[in-house]
Amino acid sequence: MLASRIDQKLKKLQSLRPLPTSAVRKLREQFEIEMTYNSNAIEGNSLTLKETYLVIHEGLTIRGKPLKDHLEAKDHHHALEFLYGIVGQDSRPTLSEHLIRTLHQLVMKKTDEEFAGKYRNSNVFIGGANHVPPDALQIPAEMKKLMRWFVEEMKNLHPVELAALLHHKLVYIHPFFDGNGRTARLTMNIILMKSGYPLGIILKNDRKKYYQALEEADKGNYTVLVKLTAQAVERSLDIYLETLTPSSEKREEFLHLSEISVKTPYSAKYLNLLARQGKLEAHKQGRNWLTTIEAVDRYIDRRERARKLS
């Protein structure tokens, strides 16, 4: 159901082309800052969303914040600029070890120059995780195996599922000393954006859920990670459609669940459950879920049709 919704929204977004250049440029800038902030914050970067913007676009130094956090923000933004350049090419580049290492080199350029873009040469342990990454000597073979898997599965899997699985397999190998998560989230977006989706952002507020999803994937259960990735993609599609739908067409207004609940048969708590389960079209803004009256109506219609068929 979630995959079907995403496909329908992507189709609607594509039907709006050619998209207004100025609006798309502003959305890209917004998403670049959001992605940089959230991806770095997941790894412990202390800059806020606003501070990330000021560091990248105003060149400011934030008092009391580590130099490393500033450098990480600038490096990640440069990596995103490179990613957009790759995605914007007419040709469809094959994902490669070289491309992944290039992304890592850009992400770690100013904070770990010695190992930026280079596979680790010794073993590592991930604090707080049960998974022990492969021996350093196995990394070249594991990465080649990953590339073969990708070439085969890109023919069979939905792009969102492919992106989620690739993301996990890359962090599972843990080919670099540091920056594996940031590199994996960028690599995931090459797959998504080449398939026409906007940048998919795993939110810092979902950090606990994200790590739990990766742990489940370690055990071979990819369901939670795929759903989390799909919800990130749907959030981006909702924002793009809300911004780019012409004013002559009816736009759905996204409101907090507490505002929606008074206009529907459901409590805010139940709507929150439906949103988390992926049964209701909704996306997060900070810690809060947003949805529309029309989305709730569609959920009710689907439930009624299913009840009549049962």
In a domain, 250, yes or no: no
* pLDDT tens string 253-296: 899 999 999 999 999 999 999 999 999 999 998 889 999 999 99
**Count of structural domains within the chain:** 2
Q: Domain check: are 149 and 283 in the same one?
A: no
The residue annotated as part of the active site, out of 104, 174, 256, 283, is 174
- 218, 91: one domain: yes
- Domain endpoint, select from 209, 244, 279: 244
Q: Which residue blocks in 174-287 are alpha helix, DSSP H?
A: 180-194, 207-218, 223-244, 257-261, 268-277
Is residue 249 included in any domain, yes or no? no
The answer on 279 and 240 residing in a single domain is no
Per-residue model confidence as pLDDT tens digits over 190-215: 999 999 999 999 999 999 999 999 99
- Give me 35's structure tokens: 């992605």
Spatial separation of the C-alpha atoms in residues 142 and 140, rounded to whole Å: 6
Compute the distance between CA of residue 82 and CA of residue 116 in angstroms, rounded to an integer: 16
Q: Give the domain-ending residue among 202, 218, 244.
A: 244
Q: pTM of the prediction?
A: 0.90
Give the pLDDT of residue 88: 79
Q: What tens digit of pLDDT does each residue of 220-262 get?
A: 999 999 999 999 999 999 999 999 988 777 778 899 999 999 9
Q: Which domain holds residue 121?
A: 2-244
12 and 79 belong to one structural domain: yes
Catalytic annotation present for 76 = no
210 and 288, same domain (yes or no): no
Q: Does a structural domain hold residue 163? A: yes
Residues 133 and 164 grouped into a single domain? yes
pLDDT value, residue 164: 98
